[in-house]
Structure 1
């Protein structure tokens, strides 16, 4: 059976896509919160601050919209590439697990021939996992799709029956780009985002299987990654968290992708020398040292790990012209930029890097109490973070104070949010705004 549908009269929250940063992050977070709370959204001028033809929905945005629309039985308007306007009306927060035969009967009864979002895997009549597949025809960022759907995967409880006493693991495979310009890489997500979620927010560790790399540089290629996720149990509420007191720099994890061994060795030597000059006592680890397959594919990620278990990362997928430059000179530019960026992060003393800061906003909004994230001394929140906070405030009514602390929703996994306090969702949002102030 399906979760009870929210009232059909709920008006969509209007979001101007040119607000603050004016990029795709605004849409991704709005979709995440809409899918969980069943609050309809209407986003106009999507990615309106992106110039010319690159504004509007890209393939990676569309992949996330389509998956969330399918899994929430949402009705949509404007769901196509380059669309600058989208209406998204979810009608359920999750579907109770059925057997494959029951599911097929439901599909036949509905006359709906489309492929189901989830495939149920059974062993000895016991449901052991659910798996889903998301494809893109271009190397759009796999990790940006994950950013949009991860809150739903964790908090929707779409894999559990009410009477079920165990949590059913999820496997989500996404095809697209793993190393894409101006997007998080699979290395950054695996070494910074996911460890921080498990170690600092107590979310069950999420693991990844990299089947093939997907590149936006050199000859474009489509890759594939599977994410192994254990959703949070029904009625679970994420505890408030306080990310403070970073501690001392203890280790640096160095990941290198370059076309040939000589180039990787050169980058490795340069990074090692500069890190030891910066902090002679640190431990240097090399989790990834891999052939990239093209002279136009050079990537470096440095992850600083502190004595209190925080991770801050800076990276660069080299995207400048290399004509007239030797491999040695290109490697030197790569190392110089990433080292400079990492030092800049460490100088502020914060517990997160600028890319991690905005990705924690959705968890602050869903948690109980006032969750806080120390971004560093005399450091203003990034434009991406300000945008994310604005979206959370508009869609679900959470508020952030001048220190970046958020009065969270105390969202219970699987809850029908619009029923809260016996009122409609619009009244609930008003109440949350009053609480946050």
Structure 2
């Protein structure tokens, strides 16, 4: 079978496209030639976290990955047999564990047996979802689709050294249930977690208070505040993750603590992000949307869900998935939102 050429600069053109391209090649059995990797970025080519993600997906997916080195702008991947078993991957920096899993989980679901993953790196880093977003928002959506994933966040890790540790147990599920989420239903509760490591307690308290103030006209907001010690975290850092649970959905918003950025601003930002989803009446938040598309594309039926905005990430993933899988996407305005429909080919 000839290699499928994919332009890594298409659309959003970032690391997500590269991670999903290798994952989709493994799932579909289609050989891949990926070129122009992150071509429009200030530092084009593969960085440490991208490299780990591609190597991890290729290792679980079997086959042969060529050209995957730091700074590489093109790679070749010949898929093989996707195997269950135990795997350990180390980003080697504070590169995001969650982004590594973004390309690894879809492959693991096609393994010939359970997959046990142990990944070290950054759990709460800029330009990536914090690990608590994965735990509180993204994985619950997969559970609704019939996917069985058990995750333990054993140690948090931050920029610049990483050192976080996350373990997962993944049961095979090559054809999940359709994702149906058009109307969120009544709000049940807003909760979350605001944490720091090796920093004063007043910082997560201030983040939580600012977020709660933005959401004050909703029912009582309950945000847990925590300070992590030596056994729970490596280095200093923090994050705040909020969830809004409704009758039919879970919406999330998150941000990572940054040196020099006031705790109040971080809390306000994440509060306004969640408020935007609630005010719009969305059933899936804009960040979960692009991450769930690859699973909806493999479902054994039609998926439909409503989002408040179609991001460039989402449009890029739609284009990429259609290159590999026999699936049709439709995106159309619907009741002040956008409805995305995913139909098996």
TM (normalized to structure 1)? 0.71
The alpha-carbon deviation at position 298 of structure 1 amounts to: 4.0
Asked if the contact 2:5–2:33 (Cα under 8 Å) also holds between the matched residues in 1, the reply is: yes
Deviations 1:220-261 (A, max 9, x none): 3321110122223xxx63333321110122211221123212
What is the aligned partner in structure 2 of residue 144 from structure 1? 99
Alpha-carbon separation, structure 2, partners of 1:181 and 1:149: 20
Asked if the contact 2:94–2:161 (Cα under 8 Å) also holds between the matched residues in 1, the reply is: yes
What is the aligned partner in structure 2 of residue 215 from structure 1? 158
Matched, 1:314 2:253: yes
Asked if the contact 1:244–1:373 (Cα under 8 Å) also holds between the matched residues in 2, the reply is: yes
Deviations 1:338-390 (A, max 9, x none): 111111122221111111000111112111232122113xx3x1110100000
Matches within 5 A, 1:412-423: none
Deviations 1:187-221 (A, max 9, x none): 0000000011113x1222x22222221102xx533
Q: Which runs of 5+ in 1 are unaligned?
A: 1-9, 96-117, 119-129, 160-168, 323-329, 409-431, 433-437
* Pairing partner for 1:68 from 57, 74, 85: 57
The alpha-carbon deviation at position 392 of structure 1 amounts to: 0.6
Matched, 1:227 2:218: no
Matched, 1:135 2:90: yes
* Pairing partner for 1:374 from 303, 306, 331: 306
Matches within 5 A, 1:352-363: 352-363=284-295
* Pairing partner for 2:210 from 248, 270, 285: 270
Asked if the contact 2:294–2:321 (Cα under 8 Å) also holds between the matched residues in 1, the reply is: yes
* 406 and 307 in structure 1: CA distance in 2 versus 1, 3 angstrom threshold: closer
* 372 and 212 in structure 1: CA distance in 2 versus 1, 3 angstrom threshold: same
What is the aligned partner in structure 2 of residue 290 from structure 1? 227
Matched, 1:389 2:318: yes
- Structure whose alpha-carbon radius of gyration is higher: 1
Structure number having the greater strand percentage: 2
Alpha-carbon separation, structure 1, partners of 2:205 and 2:121: 29
What is the aligned partner in structure 2 of residue 399 from structure 1? 328
2:124 match: secondary structure:
coil
Alpha-carbon separation, structure 1, partners of 2:265 and 2:60: 44
Alpha-carbon separation, structure 1, partners of 2:25 and 2:112: 15
* Pairing partner for 1:158 from 112, 115, 121: 112
What is the aligned partner in structure 1 of residue 74 from structure 2? 85
Deviations 1:321-340 (A, max 9, x none): 35xxxxxxx12111121111
Structure 1 consecutive aligned stretches of length 4 or more whose deviation exceeds 6 Å: 292-296
Q: Which runs of 5+ in 2 are unaligned?
A: 333-339
The alpha-carbon deviation at position 71 of structure 1 amounts to: 3.2
Alpha-carbon separation, structure 2, partners of 1:142 and 1:399: 30
Deviates more, 1:72-81 or 1:389-398: 72-81
Asked if the contact 1:187–1:301 (Cα under 8 Å) also holds between the matched residues in 2, the reply is: yes
Deviations 1:381-420 (A, max 9, x none): 1110100000011122422123421222xxxxxxxxxxxx
What is the aligned partner in structure 2 of residue 101 from structure 1? none
Alpha-carbon separation, structure 2, partners of 1:21 and 1:225: 28
* 369 and 230 in structure 1: CA distance in 2 versus 1, 3 angstrom threshold: closer
Matched, 1:257 2:195: yes
